Amino acid sequence: MKKNNRNTLNFKVTVFLFAIAIFFHNYLDAQDYHLSFRNDCPHSAKYANVWYFGDYAGLDFNTRPVSVLTNNNSVTQLEGNACISDSNGVYLLSTGGNYRISLWNSSLNTVPNGQNIGGNVSATQSSIIIPQPGDPDIYHIFLVNLPLDLPAYDNGLTHVMVNISSSNPSGEIILRDDTLLDRVSEKITATFHKNGMDVWIIAHLANSDMFYSYKITGEGLQDQPVICQAGTVHSSSTNINQAAGQMKVNPEGNKLALAIYDLGIFELFDFNNESGIISNSITSQPNFPYAYGVEFSANGKYLYASTTNTDYDTTLLSNIFQFDLGNGQQLFNQGVLLSSATGGDYFAALQLATDGKIYISSGNEYVGVIHNPTRLGLECNLNWIDNVSNDGLYLGGRRSKFGLPGFNQSYFLIPNFTYSYNCLTEETHFELVNPTNVDSVSWEFGDGAAGSGFAPSHTFNDPGYYTVHTTEFFNGIGYADSVMININPLPVVEINMGLDTVLLLLGSSVTLDAGAGFQSYQWNDGSAFQTLEVFEEGYYWVVAENENCCLNSDTVFVQRFYMVIPNAFLPVSTGEDKYFQIKDPTNAISDFFIIIYNRLGQEVFESRNKSFQWDGDGCSSGVYYFTLKAILSNGYPYQYNGNVTIIR
């Protein structure tokens, strides 16, 4: 609550403030005159929302359900390439090529000097694109070549940097031909550092059991990678196909899985996203010929893996498996075979998407879809919707090949629902990320309230953390999940430390201060600074936004301070001019002291009562001088020197 009352408010002021509230589609609190606003942070996890891949195929995850793109007549690649969008999901860059890899901008034209930038179109994961932390205009591209002992393949892992922005959408190569490693396996993946800002880029040295983890910070790519020895040697010197196969970090950033194609094995490791150390391998038996694809479910409970023959041998089976990570060391001995394909169809690269589903390259006009990858076994619904099987997602006449785009896997740390408007007093909106194969949903909001439906709303009475439980029902089976959400308190906004009234001295100005530490400010005159210099009496308000995108407001009345001080009085009068007295119409003086002197500097009167009345008793006609000192109601000291004439 405010520290001072609002005795000075009147009906016109109330109408004025109410009009402001209507303008912002909100309401006016009639007691404190705080404006209430709808608050929401822009959720920016959309870097992986546009894919271009395969034989001129494209997908757009900015819509629900996903939209198929048919505007791509440029980007094609045999195996895995890379794409990146900005934080709002607007497509920016892709890698791809028929023979050599080029860099393609938002117009699907090559970036100037972006042809043949490195890597190889036949690498399982040929590239990955990483925005530089803290700089939305700088992007790092890492490219993977084949580990062959020929001059054309000398640059194994290379690094390119691009500057691309709204003012330069074509992009500009600012670094290229930067070789990091001479020979690498056909694998690369990425995840956030534990601090949530820096990024780890993970590659594997060929003919070795060495992982190299490179870190990108706000200062760019760091010089020294973290090198770890773990798992199986990728002996590409004897067989290049031992370098093939995908590698992925789980969305949470603490597990890493990979496939070794020619050995027919899958491996799982622990990954320390603070130190970059990879350790504790679990290696399958060589029971998975042509091991190729790996991917984690968004909740990290399941690992999906594929086997496929990249030599187009149509007599060989292509399989896809689910492994339950809860099985520990027995992980790869207790997998579930989800499906098999033959006759030219296959399951190759796997990639989790921001809709919570896993997509599978299949070499035809479809991509396979695991619609519910957080469900156990066949209930994950590979190419099944509402109990009806299908061929997957039709690509509009375009084709997938063996690969899909690779991303920073942390982009897919996706709960089973999203929520928005999470500031106190707001109605918080919930929505399932993936409503496919869901008949109904029950909700428990963590404060004793419950709800139902695919997109319910709920208002929380107190700020804090709440564990929201959902149960999705399909075919009579309930799938329970929970997510902890945070309802943020509104920022405390107090103009001039919470004063109701600020005094404005005659011929001067006063500075209104909304307080430091907010992300943004908006005053009633449109200015956007912490402070506002005021020259006129009136009501002023400010809206401030904190780091959680929560808004709150405060209003203050700027009152012009003045006193009525006569310059003469007549002691013989019968009216108000009988006395020398000072009027305080604004009632702004809280402490008062006046001394009156004659022309010789002798004190003739003093008072500490602002309601004093001096009749000039014992003083002759003439001019007298006074010094007035006061403490105003806002705590400011005030002094005034003047004179008054006695007329007898």
Q: CATH no. for residue 446?
A: 2.60.40.10
CA 279/CA 272 separation, integer angstroms: 8
Does residue 156 sit in the same domain as residue 218?
yes
Same-domain check for residues 86 and 210: yes
Q: What's the farthest any 2 CA atoms get from each other in the chain?
A: 126
Note whether 422 and 487 are within 8 A (CB): yes
pLDDT digits (tens, 9 = 90+) for 13-26: 222 323 333 233 33
Closest CA to 211 of 234, 235, 240, 245: 234
Q: Are 621 and 572 in contact (CB under 8 A)?
A: no
Query: Is it the case that residue 207 has pLDDT exceeding 80?
Result: yes
What pLDDT, on the 0 to 100 scale, is given for residue 14? 29
Is 604 within 8 Å of 594 (Cβ atoms)?
A: no
- Per the domain annotation, does 641 fall within a domain? yes
Do the bridges between strand 538-545 and strand 568-569 make them parallel or antiparallel, or are there none, so unpaired? unpaired
Structure confidence by residue, pLDDT tens digits, 82-102: 999 998 999 999 999 998 999
Do residue 462 and residue 329 come from a single domain? no
* Separation CA 433–CA 614 (nearest Å): 80
What is the per-residue pLDDT for 31? 32
Mean pLDDT of 635-640: 84
pLDDT > 90? residue 647:
yes
Task: Work out the burial of residue 245: count CB atoms within 10 Å of its CB; fewer than 13 is exposed, 13-18 middle, 19 or more buried.
Answer: buried
Q: What's the pLDDT band for 238 if we cut at 50, 70, 90?
A: low
Contact of 349 with 187, CB cutoff 8 Å: no
Q: Is residue 44 part of a domain?
A: no
pLDDT band of residue 36 (cuts 50, 70, 90) is very low
Q: Which of 430, 458, 487 is the last residue of a domain?
A: 487
Provide the pLDDT for residue 99: 87
- What was the pLDDT predicted at 586? 83
pLDDT value of residue 2: 35
Q: Are residues 397 and 469 in the same domain?
A: no
Tens digit of pLDDT for each residue in 475-532?
999 999 999 999 999 999 999 999 888 888 878 899 999 999 999 999 999 999 999 9
User: What pLDDT, on a 0 to 100 scale, did the predictor assign at position 481?
Assistant: 94
Average pLDDT value for residue range 210-223: 96
- Choose between 518 and 10: higher pLDDT: 518
- Domain annotation covers residue 144: yes
Q: What is the pLDDT of residue 15?
A: 28
Share of the chain above pLDDT 70, in %: 92
Does residue 585 have a cis bond before it (omega within 30 degrees)?
no
190: CATH: 2.130.10.10
622 is a domain residue: yes
Question: For residue 285, what are the domain limits?
Answer: 50-412
Please identify which residue in the block is written with the tokens 């920073």.
Answer: 408
349 and 423 share one domain: no
Q: Is residue 543 in a domain?
A: no
**Is pLDDT at 635 greater than 80 in this prediction?**
no
Burial class (CB in 10 A: 0-12, 13-18, 19+), 632: middle
Is there a single domain that holds both residue 257 and residue 157? yes
Per-residue pLDDT tens over the stretch 320-368? 999 999 999 999 999 999 999 877 789 999 999 999 999 999 989 999 9
pLDDT at 152 over 80: no
Choice between 11 and 190, residue whose per-residue pLDDT is larger:
190
pTM attached to this predicted model: 0.80
pLDDT classification of 153: cutoffs 50, 70, 90: confident
Residue 323 sits in the same domain as residue 469 = no
One domain for residues 84 and 216: yes
Residue 58 domain-assigned?
Answer: yes
Decide if pLDDT at 237 tops 90. Answer: no
Last residue of a domain, one of 367, 390, 412: 412
pLDDT band at 556 (very low <50, low <70, confident <90, very high): very high
Burial code of 188-227, b = ≥16 C-beta within 10 A, e = fewer?
Answer: bbbbbbeeeebbbbbbbbbbbebbbbbbbeeeebeeebbe
Q: Specify the DSSP element, H or E, that contains 14.
A: helix 11-23
pLDDT of res. 41: 57
Would you say residue 271 lies in a domain?
yes
Half-sphere exposure of residue 159: CA atoms within 13 angstroms, side-chain side: 19
Distance CA 20, CA 33 (A): 11
Query: Do residues 39 and 583 lie in contact, with contact meaning Cβ atoms separated by under 8 Å?
Result: no
- Find the mean pLDDT for residues 609-625: 94
Reported as half-sphere exposure (CB side, CA atoms, 13 A), residue 175 has a value of 14
Asked if residue 435 and residue 461 are part of one domain, the reply reads: yes
What was the pLDDT predicted at 595? 97
Q: Is 80 exceeded by the pLDDT of residue 154?
A: no
Quick count: other Cβ atoms within 10 Å of Cβ 568? 12
Question: Is pLDDT of 312 > 80?
Answer: no
- Name which residue leads in pLDDT, 503 or 68: 68
Predicted local distance difference test score (pLDDT) of residue 38: 52
Q: What is the count of structural domains for the chain? A: 3
Q: What is the dihedral of CA 401, 405, 409, 413, to 10 degrees?
A: -80
Q: Identify the pLDDT of residue 24.
A: 32
Q: Which of 469, 487, 505 is the endpoint of a domain? A: 487
The answer on 91 and 63 residing in a single domain is yes
pLDDT bin (cut points 50, 70, 90) of residue 27 is very low
Rounded to 5°, angle at Cα 354 from 352 and 357: 50
- Residue type (1 letter), 223: D
Mean pLDDT of 618-644: 91
Q: In 3D, which of 487, 413, 416 has the Cα closest to residue 449? A: 487
pLDDT at 295 over 80: yes
> Do 385 and 468 share a structural domain?
no
How distant is the alpha carbon of residue 379 from its chain centre? 32
Residue 28 pLDDT > 70, yes or no?
no
Q: In angstroms, how far is the first alpha carbon of the chain from the final one?
A: 53
pLDDT of residue 581 exceeding 70, the answer is yes
Residue 517 lies in a domain: no
pLDDT score of 21: 32
Please tell me whether residues 66 and 107 are part of one structural domain: yes
Contact 114, 143 (CB under 8 A): no
Q: In this model, does residue 131 exceed pLDDT 80?
A: yes
Task: Indicate the pairing of strand 210-217 with strand 135-144.
Answer: unpaired
176: which 2 tokens? 């290229």
Whether residue 134 is predicted with pLDDT greater than 70 in this model: the reply is yes
Mean pLDDT value across the chain: 90
- Answer for the pair 329, 282: CB distance below 8 angstroms, yes or no: yes
| % residues pLDDT > 90 (the chain) | 79
- CATH of residue 635: 2.60.40.1220
- Give the C-alpha separation, 634 to 644, whole Å: 28
